[in-house]
Protein backbone atom coordinates (compact mmCIF):
# COMPACT_ATOMS: atom_id res chain seq x y z
CA UNK A 1 0.00 0.00 0.00
CA UNK A 2 1.38 3.38 -0.98
CA UNK A 3 1.50 6.30 1.45
CA UNK A 4 -1.57 8.50 1.16
CA UNK A 5 -3.48 11.47 2.52
CA UNK A 6 -7.23 11.30 2.90
CA UNK A 7 -9.04 14.62 3.30
CA UNK A 8 -12.82 14.93 3.16
CA UNK A 9 -13.88 18.17 4.82
CA UNK A 10 -17.35 18.28 3.22
CA UNK A 11 -20.30 18.06 5.61
CA UNK A 12 -22.89 15.74 4.07
CA UNK A 13 -26.58 16.21 4.81
CA UNK A 14 -28.27 13.23 3.21
CA UNK A 15 -31.90 12.20 2.81
CA UNK A 16 -35.46 13.28 2.20
CA UNK A 17 -36.11 17.04 2.59
CA UNK A 18 -32.41 17.71 3.23
CA UNK A 19 -32.70 20.88 1.12
CA UNK A 20 -34.84 22.43 3.86
CA UNK A 21 -31.60 22.90 5.79
CA UNK A 22 -30.07 25.19 3.15
CA UNK A 23 -30.60 28.40 5.10
CA UNK A 24 -29.20 27.11 8.39
CA UNK A 25 -26.19 25.51 6.70
CA UNK A 26 -25.31 28.80 5.00
CA UNK A 27 -25.92 30.76 8.20
CA UNK A 28 -23.24 28.60 9.81
CA UNK A 29 -20.79 29.81 7.16
CA UNK A 30 -20.98 33.41 8.44
CA UNK A 31 -21.21 34.88 4.98
CA UNK A 32 -22.78 38.15 3.89
CA UNK A 33 -24.02 37.47 0.38
CA UNK A 34 -24.57 34.30 -1.61
CA UNK A 35 -24.48 33.56 -5.31
CA UNK A 36 -27.05 30.88 -6.18
CA UNK A 37 -25.59 29.22 -9.27
CA UNK A 38 -27.69 26.82 -11.36
CA UNK A 39 -28.04 25.20 -14.78
CA UNK A 40 -30.66 25.24 -17.54
CA UNK A 41 -34.23 24.54 -16.56
CA UNK A 42 -34.42 21.45 -14.34
CA UNK A 43 -34.03 23.09 -10.93
CA UNK A 44 -36.53 25.79 -11.86
CA UNK A 45 -39.09 23.36 -13.27
CA UNK A 46 -38.95 20.99 -10.32
CA UNK A 47 -39.63 23.83 -7.89
CA UNK A 48 -36.30 23.26 -6.13
CA UNK A 49 -35.04 26.78 -6.80
CA UNK A 50 -38.13 28.35 -5.23
CA UNK A 51 -37.61 26.19 -2.13
CA UNK A 52 -33.99 27.31 -1.95
CA UNK A 53 -34.91 30.99 -2.28
CA UNK A 54 -37.53 30.57 0.47
CA UNK A 55 -35.02 28.90 2.74
CA UNK A 56 -32.51 31.71 2.20
CA UNK A 57 -35.11 34.41 2.72
CA UNK A 58 -36.36 32.77 5.93
CA UNK A 59 -32.78 32.69 7.20
CA UNK A 60 -32.40 36.39 6.21
CA UNK A 61 -29.55 35.63 3.84
CA UNK A 62 -28.99 38.01 0.94
CA UNK A 63 -28.45 36.41 -2.45
CA UNK A 64 -28.03 37.00 -6.17
CA UNK A 65 -28.58 34.40 -8.90
CA UNK A 66 -26.79 33.15 -11.98
CA UNK A 67 -28.35 30.43 -14.13
CA UNK A 68 -27.53 29.01 -17.53
CA UNK A 69 -24.57 26.75 -16.71
CA UNK A 70 -24.50 24.09 -19.46
CA UNK A 71 -23.11 20.53 -19.37
CA UNK A 72 -19.36 20.67 -20.07
CA UNK A 73 -19.50 24.12 -18.40
CA UNK A 74 -18.04 27.02 -20.29
CA UNK A 75 -15.33 29.47 -19.33
CA UNK A 76 -17.38 32.46 -20.55
CA UNK A 77 -20.04 31.68 -17.91
CA UNK A 78 -17.31 31.50 -15.27
CA UNK A 79 -16.11 35.00 -16.23
CA UNK A 80 -19.71 36.24 -16.06
CA UNK A 81 -19.99 34.76 -12.56
CA UNK A 82 -16.75 36.35 -11.39
CA UNK A 83 -17.87 39.78 -12.63
CA UNK A 84 -21.24 39.40 -10.90
CA UNK A 85 -19.71 38.24 -7.61
CA UNK A 86 -17.23 41.12 -7.60
CA UNK A 87 -19.97 43.66 -8.32
CA UNK A 88 -22.26 42.22 -5.64
CA UNK A 89 -19.59 41.48 -3.01
CA UNK A 90 -20.52 37.82 -2.91
CA UNK A 91 -18.62 35.75 -0.35
CA UNK A 92 -20.28 32.31 -0.65
CA UNK A 93 -21.42 30.31 -3.68
CA UNK A 94 -24.28 27.82 -3.58
CA UNK A 95 -24.35 25.44 -6.52
CA UNK A 96 -27.76 23.92 -7.25
CA UNK A 97 -27.23 21.19 -9.81
CA UNK A 98 -24.75 18.56 -10.92
CA UNK A 99 -21.09 18.38 -11.76
CA UNK A 100 -21.31 21.15 -14.34
CA UNK A 101 -22.87 23.68 -11.99
CA UNK A 102 -20.59 22.70 -9.09
CA UNK A 103 -17.49 22.93 -11.28
CA UNK A 104 -18.57 26.29 -12.60
CA UNK A 105 -19.18 27.49 -9.03
CA UNK A 106 -15.72 26.29 -7.99
CA UNK A 107 -14.16 28.10 -10.96
CA UNK A 108 -15.97 31.33 -10.05
CA UNK A 109 -14.69 30.81 -6.50
CA UNK A 110 -11.13 30.49 -7.79
CA UNK A 111 -11.55 33.57 -9.93
CA UNK A 112 -12.60 35.61 -6.89
CA UNK A 113 -9.47 35.04 -4.85
CA UNK A 114 -6.66 34.44 -7.33
CA UNK A 115 -5.09 37.38 -9.14
CA UNK A 116 -4.40 35.53 -12.38
CA UNK A 117 -6.75 34.79 -15.28
CA UNK A 118 -8.75 31.86 -13.88
CA UNK A 119 -8.05 29.78 -17.03
CA UNK A 120 -4.33 29.80 -16.15
CA UNK A 121 -5.21 27.57 -13.18
CA UNK A 122 -6.82 25.07 -15.54
CA UNK A 123 -3.89 25.12 -17.95
CA UNK A 124 -1.40 24.67 -15.14
CA UNK A 125 0.20 28.06 -15.82
CA UNK A 126 -0.60 29.33 -12.31
CA UNK A 127 -1.23 27.72 -8.91
CA UNK A 128 -4.36 28.45 -6.88
CA UNK A 129 -3.86 29.98 -3.46
CA UNK A 130 -7.50 29.74 -2.37
CA UNK A 131 -11.13 29.58 -3.43
CA UNK A 132 -14.30 31.28 -2.23
CA UNK A 133 -16.31 28.78 -0.12
CA UNK A 134 -18.78 26.69 -2.12
CA UNK A 135 -21.76 24.61 -0.94
CA UNK A 136 -23.98 22.39 -3.06
CA UNK A 137 -27.48 21.03 -3.42
CA UNK A 138 -26.91 18.00 -5.62
CA UNK A 139 -29.49 17.14 -8.29
CA UNK A 140 -27.69 14.39 -10.23
CA UNK A 141 -25.53 11.58 -8.88
CA UNK A 142 -22.59 11.40 -11.25
CA UNK A 143 -19.46 13.56 -11.25
CA UNK A 144 -18.78 13.40 -7.51
CA UNK A 145 -17.76 17.06 -7.55
CA UNK A 146 -19.74 17.60 -4.34
CA UNK A 147 -16.92 15.94 -2.39
CA UNK A 148 -14.00 16.01 -4.85
CA UNK A 149 -11.10 18.43 -5.13
CA UNK A 150 -11.72 18.80 -8.84
CA UNK A 151 -13.32 21.27 -11.25
CA UNK A 152 -13.46 20.76 -15.01
CA UNK A 153 -14.13 23.68 -17.38
CA UNK A 154 -14.30 23.98 -21.18
CA UNK A 155 -12.76 26.96 -22.94
CA UNK A 156 -14.76 27.73 -26.07
CA UNK A 157 -11.75 29.05 -27.96
CA UNK A 158 -10.13 25.81 -29.19
CA UNK A 159 -12.74 23.70 -27.30
CA UNK A 160 -10.32 22.66 -24.60
CA UNK A 161 -11.68 20.84 -21.54
CA UNK A 162 -9.26 21.01 -18.62
CA UNK A 163 -9.35 20.32 -14.88
CA UNK A 164 -8.01 22.09 -11.81
CA UNK A 165 -7.55 20.01 -8.64
CA UNK A 166 -6.98 21.55 -5.23
CA UNK A 167 -8.37 21.01 -1.75
CA UNK A 168 -9.33 24.71 -1.60
CA UNK A 169 -12.33 23.95 -3.79
CA UNK A 170 -13.76 21.11 -1.71
CA UNK A 171 -17.36 21.97 -0.85
CA UNK A 172 -18.18 23.15 2.67
CA UNK A 173 -21.39 21.13 2.62
CA UNK A 174 -23.30 18.88 0.26
CA UNK A 175 -27.07 18.55 0.54
CA UNK A 176 -28.09 15.24 -0.99
CA UNK A 177 -31.74 14.30 -1.28
CA UNK A 178 -32.09 11.27 -3.59
CA UNK A 179 -35.66 12.34 -4.42
CA UNK A 180 -34.26 15.36 -6.25
CA UNK A 181 -32.88 12.96 -8.87
CA UNK A 182 -36.31 11.45 -9.76
CA UNK A 183 -36.76 13.98 -12.57
CA UNK A 184 -33.58 12.96 -14.40
CA UNK A 185 -33.97 11.57 -17.92
CA UNK A 186 -32.93 7.90 -18.00
CA UNK A 187 -29.89 8.65 -20.17
CA UNK A 188 -28.56 11.15 -17.60
CA UNK A 189 -29.23 8.74 -14.71
CA UNK A 190 -27.30 5.96 -16.40
CA UNK A 191 -24.57 8.25 -17.70
CA UNK A 192 -24.14 9.28 -14.07
CA UNK A 193 -23.91 5.65 -12.92
CA UNK A 194 -21.23 5.10 -15.55
CA UNK A 195 -19.18 8.05 -14.31
CA UNK A 196 -19.48 6.80 -10.73
CA UNK A 197 -18.18 3.37 -11.76
CA UNK A 198 -15.36 4.93 -13.72
CA UNK A 199 -14.22 7.04 -10.77
CA UNK A 200 -13.66 3.81 -8.87
CA UNK A 201 -12.24 1.90 -11.85
CA UNK A 202 -9.72 4.64 -12.61
CA UNK A 203 -8.33 4.09 -9.12
CA UNK A 204 -8.85 0.31 -9.03
CA UNK A 205 -6.76 -0.39 -12.12
CA UNK A 206 -3.37 0.00 -10.57
CA UNK A 207 -0.31 -2.19 -10.45
CA UNK A 208 -0.06 -1.55 -6.70
CA UNK A 209 -0.54 -4.68 -4.57
CA UNK A 210 -1.81 -5.35 -1.06
CA UNK A 211 -4.68 -2.92 -0.69
CA UNK A 212 -7.27 -5.27 0.72
CA UNK A 213 -9.45 -2.68 2.42
CA UNK A 214 -9.44 -0.32 -0.54
CA UNK A 215 -10.06 -3.17 -2.98
CA UNK A 216 -12.97 -4.50 -0.93
CA UNK A 217 -14.56 -1.05 -0.68
CA UNK A 218 -14.10 -0.51 -4.42
CA UNK A 219 -15.43 -3.88 -5.46
CA UNK A 220 -18.46 -3.56 -3.14
CA UNK A 221 -19.12 -0.08 -4.43
CA UNK A 222 -18.95 -1.19 -8.07
CA UNK A 223 -21.25 -4.17 -7.48
CA UNK A 224 -23.72 -1.87 -5.73
CA UNK A 225 -23.73 0.65 -8.58
CA UNK A 226 -24.18 -2.07 -11.21
CA UNK A 227 -27.05 -3.62 -9.25
CA UNK A 228 -28.89 -0.35 -8.64
CA UNK A 229 -28.26 1.09 -12.11
CA UNK A 230 -30.17 -1.92 -13.44
CA UNK A 231 -33.03 -1.32 -10.99
CA UNK A 232 -33.29 2.32 -12.10
CA UNK A 233 -33.78 1.18 -15.72
CA UNK A 234 -37.27 -0.02 -14.81
CA UNK A 235 -37.94 1.71 -11.46
CA UNK A 236 -36.63 5.29 -11.81
CA UNK A 237 -38.53 6.38 -8.70
CA UNK A 238 -37.09 3.72 -6.40
CA UNK A 239 -35.84 5.77 -3.44
CA UNK A 240 -33.46 3.12 -2.15
CA UNK A 241 -31.78 2.64 -5.53
CA UNK A 242 -31.47 6.41 -5.99
CA UNK A 243 -30.00 6.69 -2.48
CA UNK A 244 -27.43 3.94 -3.04
CA UNK A 245 -26.33 5.52 -6.31
CA UNK A 246 -26.13 9.01 -4.81
CA UNK A 247 -23.98 7.96 -1.88
CA UNK A 248 -21.81 5.79 -4.15
CA UNK A 249 -21.26 8.84 -6.37
CA UNK A 250 -19.71 10.79 -3.52
CA UNK A 251 -17.64 7.94 -2.10
CA UNK A 252 -16.40 7.05 -5.55
CA UNK A 253 -14.71 10.40 -6.00
CA UNK A 254 -13.88 11.73 -2.53
CA UNK A 255 -10.61 9.79 -2.44
CA UNK A 256 -11.80 6.77 -0.46
CA UNK A 257 -11.48 4.30 -3.33
CA UNK A 258 -7.96 5.49 -4.10
CA UNK A 259 -6.34 5.19 -0.68
CA UNK A 260 -3.02 3.42 -1.17
CA UNK A 261 -2.97 3.39 -4.96
CA UNK A 262 -1.95 5.67 -7.80
CA UNK A 263 -4.91 6.41 -10.06
CA UNK A 264 -4.80 5.73 -13.80
CA UNK A 265 -7.25 8.30 -15.23
CA UNK A 266 -6.57 7.47 -18.90
CA UNK A 267 -10.25 7.06 -19.75
CA UNK A 268 -11.03 10.43 -18.20
CA UNK A 269 -8.30 12.10 -20.23
CA UNK A 270 -9.55 10.39 -23.40
CA UNK A 271 -13.12 11.50 -22.60
CA UNK A 272 -12.23 15.09 -21.77
CA UNK A 273 -11.11 15.64 -25.36
CA UNK A 274 -14.35 14.09 -26.67
CA UNK A 275 -16.39 16.23 -24.27
CA UNK A 276 -14.48 19.37 -25.25
CA UNK A 277 -14.75 18.82 -29.02
CA UNK A 278 -18.15 17.14 -29.34
CA UNK A 279 -20.02 18.13 -26.17
CA UNK A 280 -20.98 14.54 -25.26
CA UNK A 281 -22.38 13.54 -21.85
CA UNK A 282 -19.33 12.78 -19.70
CA UNK A 283 -20.38 9.31 -18.48
CA UNK A 284 -21.41 8.22 -21.98
CA UNK A 285 -18.06 9.39 -23.34
CA UNK A 286 -16.33 7.23 -20.72
CA UNK A 287 -18.21 4.03 -21.56
CA UNK A 288 -17.54 4.67 -25.27
CA UNK A 289 -13.77 4.41 -24.74
CA UNK A 290 -13.44 2.09 -21.70
CA UNK A 291 -13.59 -1.28 -23.52
CA UNK A 292 -10.98 -0.19 -26.07
CA UNK A 293 -8.70 1.10 -23.31
CA UNK A 294 -9.14 -2.14 -21.36
CA UNK A 295 -8.30 -4.37 -24.35
CA UNK A 296 -5.28 -2.19 -25.11
CA UNK A 297 -3.79 -2.41 -21.60
CA UNK A 298 -5.01 -5.59 -19.88
CA UNK A 299 -1.83 -7.56 -20.61
CA UNK A 300 0.10 -5.18 -18.33
CA UNK A 301 -1.51 -7.02 -15.41
CA UNK A 302 -3.86 -9.77 -16.50
CA UNK A 303 -4.50 -10.86 -12.91
CA UNK A 304 -5.88 -7.44 -11.98
CA UNK A 305 -8.43 -7.79 -14.76
CA UNK A 306 -9.17 -11.35 -13.57
CA UNK A 307 -9.85 -10.02 -10.05
CA UNK A 308 -12.17 -7.38 -11.53
CA UNK A 309 -13.98 -9.95 -13.69
CA UNK A 310 -14.56 -12.36 -10.82
CA UNK A 311 -15.17 -10.04 -7.86
CA UNK A 312 -17.12 -7.29 -9.60
CA UNK A 313 -18.89 -8.96 -12.51
CA UNK A 314 -19.24 -12.50 -11.21
CA UNK A 315 -17.40 -14.07 -14.15
CA UNK A 316 -16.33 -17.64 -13.31
CA UNK A 317 -12.59 -17.97 -13.02
CA UNK A 318 -10.93 -20.17 -15.61
CA UNK A 319 -7.81 -20.89 -13.56
CA UNK A 320 -6.08 -22.49 -16.54
CA UNK A 321 -6.66 -19.47 -18.76
CA UNK A 322 -6.47 -16.14 -16.89
CA UNK A 323 -6.45 -14.17 -20.14
CA UNK A 324 -9.79 -15.68 -21.11
CA UNK A 325 -11.25 -14.70 -17.73
CA UNK A 326 -9.87 -11.16 -18.07
CA UNK A 327 -11.42 -10.77 -21.53
CA UNK A 328 -14.73 -12.23 -20.31
CA UNK A 329 -14.73 -9.52 -17.66
CA UNK A 330 -14.24 -6.76 -20.23
CA UNK A 331 -17.06 -8.23 -22.31
CA UNK A 332 -19.34 -8.49 -19.26
CA UNK A 333 -18.72 -4.83 -18.41
CA UNK A 334 -19.56 -3.79 -21.98
CA UNK A 335 -22.72 -5.91 -21.87
CA UNK A 336 -23.71 -4.08 -18.69
CA UNK A 337 -23.14 -0.72 -20.41
CA UNK A 338 -25.34 -1.86 -23.30
CA UNK A 339 -28.03 -3.00 -20.85
CA UNK A 340 -28.21 0.47 -19.30
CA UNK A 341 -28.24 2.15 -22.72
CA UNK A 342 -24.69 3.45 -22.65
CA UNK A 343 -22.47 3.46 -25.76
CA UNK A 344 -19.48 1.15 -26.11
CA UNK A 345 -18.04 2.99 -29.12
CA UNK A 346 -17.63 6.62 -30.17
CA UNK A 347 -19.94 6.05 -33.17
CA UNK A 348 -22.71 5.14 -30.71
CA UNK A 349 -22.23 8.59 -29.19
CA UNK A 350 -23.37 9.97 -32.54
CA UNK A 351 -19.86 11.04 -33.51
CA UNK A 352 -18.35 9.70 -36.76
CA UNK A 353 -14.66 10.46 -36.36
CA UNK A 354 -12.46 11.19 -39.39
CA UNK A 355 -8.78 10.21 -39.33
CA UNK A 356 -7.90 13.90 -38.97
CA UNK A 357 -10.19 14.28 -35.97
CA UNK A 358 -8.66 11.22 -34.30
CA UNK A 359 -5.24 12.73 -34.80
CA UNK A 360 -6.41 16.05 -33.37
CA UNK A 361 -7.97 14.33 -30.34
CA UNK A 362 -4.74 12.45 -29.63
CA UNK A 363 -2.65 15.59 -30.16
CA UNK A 364 -4.79 17.56 -27.72
CA UNK A 365 -4.96 14.68 -25.22
CA UNK A 366 -1.17 14.44 -25.19
CA UNK A 367 -1.01 18.23 -24.65
CA UNK A 368 0.60 18.68 -28.07
CA UNK A 369 2.79 15.64 -27.54
CA UNK A 370 4.25 16.94 -24.28
CA UNK A 371 2.71 14.47 -21.83
CA UNK A 372 1.76 10.84 -21.39
CA UNK A 373 -1.43 9.67 -19.70
CA UNK A 374 -2.19 6.70 -17.44
CA UNK A 375 -0.34 4.81 -14.76
CA UNK A 376 -1.59 1.24 -15.06
CA UNK A 377 0.03 1.47 -18.47
CA UNK A 378 1.66 4.70 -19.52
CA UNK A 379 0.30 5.86 -22.87
CA UNK A 380 1.96 8.25 -25.32
CA UNK A 381 0.33 10.05 -28.22
CA UNK A 382 0.66 7.03 -30.55
CA UNK A 383 -1.02 4.78 -27.96
CA UNK A 384 -3.77 7.34 -27.45
CA UNK A 385 -4.40 7.52 -31.19
CA UNK A 386 -4.59 3.72 -31.42
CA UNK A 387 -7.17 3.59 -28.60
CA UNK A 388 -9.33 6.25 -30.29
CA UNK A 389 -9.11 4.19 -33.51
CA UNK A 390 -10.19 1.04 -31.64
CA UNK A 391 -13.05 2.98 -29.99
CA UNK A 392 -14.28 4.92 -33.03
O1 LIG B 1 -29.01 22.24 -16.78
P2 LIG B 1 -30.15 21.47 -16.24
O3 LIG B 1 -31.46 21.89 -16.78
O4 LIG B 1 -30.13 21.40 -14.73
O5 LIG B 1 -30.00 19.96 -16.80
C6 LIG B 1 -28.98 19.08 -16.39
C7 LIG B 1 -28.02 18.73 -17.53
O8 LIG B 1 -28.64 18.86 -18.77
C9 LIG B 1 -29.59 17.75 -16.09
N10 LIG B 1 -30.04 17.61 -14.71
C11 LIG B 1 -29.32 17.72 -13.58
N12 LIG B 1 -30.07 17.43 -12.53
C13 LIG B 1 -31.31 17.15 -12.99
C14 LIG B 1 -31.30 17.27 -14.39
N15 LIG B 1 -32.39 17.05 -15.14
C16 LIG B 1 -33.52 16.70 -14.52
N17 LIG B 1 -33.59 16.53 -13.18
C18 LIG B 1 -32.51 16.74 -12.39
N19 LIG B 1 -32.60 16.52 -11.07
O20 LIG B 1 -28.57 16.81 -16.31
C21 LIG B 1 -27.72 17.28 -17.33
C22 LIG B 1 -26.29 16.97 -16.95
O23 LIG B 1 -25.89 17.75 -15.85
P24 LIG B 1 -24.35 17.86 -15.48
O25 LIG B 1 -24.22 18.73 -14.30
O26 LIG B 1 -23.59 18.22 -16.71
O27 LIG B 1 -24.01 16.34 -15.12
P28 LIG B 1 -22.82 15.70 -14.34
O29 LIG B 1 -23.04 15.75 -12.89
O30 LIG B 1 -22.60 14.40 -14.99
O31 LIG B 1 -21.55 16.65 -14.62
C32 LIG B 1 -20.75 16.49 -15.75
C33 LIG B 1 -19.61 17.47 -15.72
O34 LIG B 1 -18.77 17.20 -14.58
C35 LIG B 1 -17.42 17.00 -15.02
C36 LIG B 1 -17.62 16.41 -16.39
O37 LIG B 1 -16.46 16.43 -17.17
C38 LIG B 1 -18.73 17.28 -16.95
O39 LIG B 1 -18.23 18.52 -17.38
N40 LIG B 1 -16.71 16.19 -14.05
C41 LIG B 1 -16.39 16.76 -12.90
C42 LIG B 1 -15.66 16.09 -11.93
C43 LIG B 1 -15.31 16.73 -10.65
N44 LIG B 1 -15.47 18.04 -10.55
O45 LIG B 1 -14.84 16.07 -9.70
C46 LIG B 1 -15.17 14.72 -12.12
C47 LIG B 1 -15.77 14.03 -13.28
O48 LIG B 1 -14.91 13.03 -13.72
C49 LIG B 1 -16.12 14.92 -14.43
O50 LIG B 1 -15.02 15.19 -15.28
ZN1 LIG C 1 -15.82 11.40 -14.33
Going from N- to C-terminal start, the domains of the chain cover 11-180, 185-391
Q: Phi-psi category of 34—alpha, beta or left, where left has phi over 0 and alpha has psi -120 to 50? A: beta
Q: In CATH, what class is 185-391?
A: mainly alpha
Per-residue pLDDT tens digits for 276-299: 999 999 999 999 999 999 999 999
* 114-125: pLDDT as tens digits: 999 999 999 999
Q: Which of 73, 64, 81 is nearest to 40 (CA)?
A: 73
Q: Which ligand is nearest to the CA of 44?
A: 1
- pLDDT at residue 309, rounded to an integer: 98
Q: For residue range 339-357, what is the model confidence (pLDDT) as tens digits?
A: 999 999 999 999 999 999 9
CA 90 to ligand 2 centroid distance, Å:
29
- For the domain bounded by 11-180, which CATH number is listed? 3.40.50.1970
Residue 335 CB-density burial (10 A; 0-12 exposed, 13-18 middle, 19+ buried) = exposed
The residue to mutate among 106, 282, 286, 288, having the most atoms of ligand 1 within 8 angstroms of its beta carbon, is 282
* Rounded-to-integer distance, Cα 46 and Cα 60, Å: 24
pLDDT of residue 210: 82
Please tell me the residue having the least CA distance from ligand 1 atom 49: 143
Instruction: Give 143 Cα–ligand 2 centroid separation in angstroms.
Output: 5
Q: From the CA of 189, how far away is ligand 2's center (Å)?
A: 14
How far is ligand 1, taken at its centre, from the CA of residue 142, in Å?
7
Residue identifier of the C-alpha nearest atom 45 of ligand 1: 145
pLDDT above 90 covers a percentage of the chain that reads: 98
pLDDT means over runs of 10, the chain (392 residues):
95 97 95 96 97 96 98 97 98 98 98 98 97 98 98 95 97 98 98 98 91 96 98 98 98 96 96 95 97 98 97 97 98 98 98 97 96 97 98 98
Residue pLDDT, tens place only, 220-230: 999 999 999 99
Instruction: Note if the pTM is more than 0.85.
Output: yes
Contact by Cβ (8 Å): 25, 55:
no
Q: Which atom belonging to ligand 1 lies closest to the Cα atom of 103?
A: 44
Residue 98 pLDDT: 98
List all residues whose CB is within 6 A of at least one atom of ligand 1: 39-43, 71-73, 97-101, 103, 139-140, 142-145, 148, 150-152, 180-181, 183-184, 188, 192, 195, 253, 268, 275, 282
Amino acid sequence: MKNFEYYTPTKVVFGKDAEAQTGSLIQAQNCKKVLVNFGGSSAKQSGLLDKVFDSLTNAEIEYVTLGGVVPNPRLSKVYEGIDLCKKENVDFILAVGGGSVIDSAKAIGYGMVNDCDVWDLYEGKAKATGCLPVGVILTIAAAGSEMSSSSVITKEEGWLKRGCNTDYSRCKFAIMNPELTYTLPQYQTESGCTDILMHTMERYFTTERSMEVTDSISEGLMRTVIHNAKILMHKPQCYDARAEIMWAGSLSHNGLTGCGSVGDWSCHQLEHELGGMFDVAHGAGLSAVWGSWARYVYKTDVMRFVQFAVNVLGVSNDFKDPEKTALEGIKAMENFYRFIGMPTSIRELGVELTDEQIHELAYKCSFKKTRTIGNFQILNMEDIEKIYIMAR
